Each structure stands twice: as structure tokens, then as C-alpha cells.
Structure 1
Amino acid sequence: MNRQLNRFILILSCTLFPPLALAHGGNGESGLVAGLLHPFTGLDHLLAALACGIWMKCRLEIPPDQGMGVFLLPLLAGMLLGANGLTGLYLEGLLSATVVLLAVLLLPGVQLRRNLGIGLAATLALLQGLAHGGEIIGLSLEGSITTLAVCISTGLLLAGGYVLASGFRKAAKTAF
């Protein structure tokens, strides 16, 4: 099979099977430990944060401190909106699509203008936040702790994406 057909099959399968994301089950778990662990146990969140870190470092050339703001502030805003009931029927499908979109954006030759890329990264983070916010048990102290913990873990994953991107660049320089 050619590469375009492989990409089409990958995109189609990821879009049609959102349950593969294995996250956002709405089980109502909250608290410090649940918040710290959730981004590492939800495949959509894990892949989105890592891929976004790689993309912001390699393609958008955003410094890590700015990248944290671009991703974490909309994530937090989305979580607050989600905790107040703003969630959607198709949110899980959108989350799966964001992971696919980030994979496409990492393909060689795919380039966006920096400002458009920053807006897209913020939008992807907002969608992630909406899903997480819908899982938080109200706007309580426990919910606030969960929110903070999710943001901390997401920041670590985003930083991991930056580290991976630096490793890719070093490997590419030594290979050629």
C-alpha cells in the first residue's frame, strides 16, 4: 500500500473509533492523586500533550515557558467551563480527532503559520479541558485540587514533548 492510503486508513480508524482513547469515562474520580494520574492514563491526553510539546518546539519554535502558557491556560479555562456543565455530545470524537490532527501536523512538510499554530494549540487544549472539566465533581475544593493536579501533570507531559523534540533534533543532526 502507498503512504497516502496508510494515512487515510489511520485517520479514518482513529476518527471512527473514539473509544480507543480510553479516557474521560465520567467515573467522577477526583482529588490530588486522581488528577495527577489522569493525564498519564488517558491515551488521548497523553498523546495530545506530548505531540503538542513536540509540535510547538519543532514546528512553531515556541519556547517552553510560552508553550506552557499557550496550552495550560486554555486547558484550565476549558476545565472551568466543563465543570460548569459546558460539555458536548461529540466531545470524545473531537478529542480523538485532535490526536489525529496533531499527528498530521507532525508529518514532514506540514507547516502552519506561527500565529495560526498557536491558536490551534490553544483550541486543542481548550477541548481537552472541557472533557476534563466535565469529570470534576463540581466547583469544590476537591475539584480545584483535581484541576490543579491535572494541570501539573499536563505540564510535565508537555515538557516531555519538548525534551523528546530536542532529542529528535540532536539525532537528526548526528545522522546527517
Structure 2
Amino acid sequence: MNRTACLRLALGTSLTVAAGAALAHPGHDAATVSASLWAGLAHPFTGADHLLAMAAVGVWSALIARSAADTLRLPLAFVALMLVGAAIGLSGVALPAVEPMIAASLLVIGLLLALRAKLPAWAGTLLVGGFAIFHGYAHGAELPATAGALPAVLAYVGGFAAATMALHLLGIGAGTLLRRHAGWLARAAGAGVALYGASLLVA
């Protein structure tokens, strides 16, 4: 399977999850479920911290991947562990240092991107997945008021999972292009992400 086919499969799966979550219980208020789905889809785009982290994971993955399948390893790990974090946030369990860890994710992933660092597969997956838990917790803890019933909650979660995967895929696309034509620009972008993360940590 080539890289384009892998990307299409991942995006299609994400959108199917979102749609399935929204339609899983048709007996409930469709407007409420729809509003929650759109809130979830929009949420990763409403904060520069989430948006930059997810895009950076995609770019870094494209720069260091050895194959098309390997390109999706980090994004899929991010989404999976993000859902774990969201479940923790939705449950009401307190997770310490959420905002500092989100800022740290920008600093660390930005530096890895700037250096085009290649970690062992297990280390990169563990690192990205660990940070994803905190991003997911923030999403889950900010559940909109419209998402009171389970179908609406599932729609919200499916929405931000699909949006996150879309950002990863955009990052992969950008990273693939830059890898071939302007690797220095990807590194400069990584440095910018790292600086933004550092500014959040000291703010």
C-alpha cells in the first residue's frame, strides 16, 4: 500500500468514527448531537497549542518515516492515547499539570522536528502518546454544555478525533513536500513551535 492510500485510509477511518458516533443513537435529539459533533471538529482548531502540536507530529512523522505505514505510526498513537486522556477528562478525574505538559509537548516535539531527530520506534511512540494523553484530557474536560447525553458525548469525541487525524494528515502532507524540496523550512517551523512552547511554559 503506497503512502497516498495509507493517508486516505486513515482519514476515511477517522471520518467514519465521527459519523458513526453521531448517528449511533438516532432516537436522540439530532440537533444536539450535530452541535456536539461540530464542537468536537472545531475544538482542535480553536487553540494554537493543540493545532501546532498535532500538525508538528505529522510533519515530524513524515520527515523520519522509513515507509508509508511508518508515517502513520505516531499519528495513530497520538489519537489512541488522546482518547484515553479524553476518557480521563470526561470521568472528572483530576490530572495534574495539564497545561504545562501541553506546552512541554510543543517544546519537545518542536525540537525533535527542528533537529530531525530519529528516536527508536518505541521511544517516539511513548513520547508522543504520553503528551497526547494531556491533549485529550483538555478536550474531554472542556466538553460543551450541549453534550450532556451519551450520543452527544460520543459525537463530540468522534469530532475532535477526526479533526486531530486531519491535522496529522495535513502535517504529513506538508512534511512530505518539505522533505523533498525544503527540509530546512520544516526545521525552521519546528524551531518556531519549540519557541512557542517555551513561551507558554514561562508565561
> What TM bracket, shorter-length normalisation?
0.7 to 0.9
Q: Which amino acid letter does the alignment assign opposite residue 120 of structure 2? A: R
Aligned equivalent of 1:54, options 51, 59, 71: 59
Q: Which amino acid letter does the alignment assign opposite residue 107 of structure 1? A: A
Q: Which amino acid letter does the alignment assign opposite residue 177 of structure 2? A: G
List runs of 5+ in structure 2 lacking aligned partners.
1-34, 184-203
Q: Does 1:152 align with 2:159?
A: no
Q: Distance in 1 between matches of 2:124 and 2:72?
A: 16
Question: What is the RMSD of the two structures over their aligned residues, measured on CA atoms?
Answer: 2.1
The one-character-per-residue Cα deviations of 1:127-158 (angstroms, maximum 9, x if unpaired) are 11111111125672211110000000000000
Q: TM-score, normalised by structure 2?
A: 0.64
Q: Does 1:82 align with 2:92?
A: no
Q: Distance in 2 between matches of 1:79 and 1:160?
A: 22
Cα distance, 1:60 vs. partner?
A: 4.7
1:25 counterpart residue number:
none
1:91 counterpart residue number:
98
Q: Distance in 1 between matches of 2:94 and 2:180?
A: 41
Please say which of residues 147-156 and 93-102 is displaced more in the overlay: 93-102
Cα distance, 1:163 vs. partner?
A: 0.3
Change (3 A) 1:160 1:145: same
Q: Distance in 2 between matches of 1:109 and 1:149?
A: 31
Please say which of residues 134-143 and 117-126 is displaced more in the overlay: 134-143
Q: Distance in 2 between matches of 1:119 and 1:139?
A: 33
The one-character-per-residue Cα deviations of 1:95-139 (angstroms, maximum 9, x if unpaired) are 111111111111226342222011111111111111111112567
Q: Distance in 1 between matches of 2:149 and 2:134?
A: 19
Change (3 A) 1:109 1:89: closer
Q: Distance in 2 between matches of 1:53 and 1:105?
A: 12
Q: Distance in 2 between matches of 1:105 and 1:65?
A: 17
1:6 counterpart residue number:
none
2:124 counterpart residue number:
117
Change (3 A) 1:121 1:63: same
Aligned equivalent of 1:168, options 175, 178, 195: 178
Q: Are 2:74 and 2:128, in contact at CA under 8 Å, matched by a contact in 1?
A: no
Please say which of residues 46-55 and 60-69 is displaced more in the overlay: 60-69
Cα distance, 1:94 vs. partner?
A: 1.3
Q: Are 2:37 and 2:156, in contact at CA under 8 Å, matched by a contact in 1?
A: yes
Q: Does 1:39 align with 2:49?
A: no
Q: Distance in 1 between matches of 2:48 and 2:148?
A: 24
List runs of 5+ in structure 1 lacking aligned partners.
1-29
The one-character-per-residue Cα deviations of 1:59-82 (angstroms, maximum 9, x if unpaired) are 254634434421111111111111
User: Larger helix proportion, structure 1 or 2?
Assistant: 2
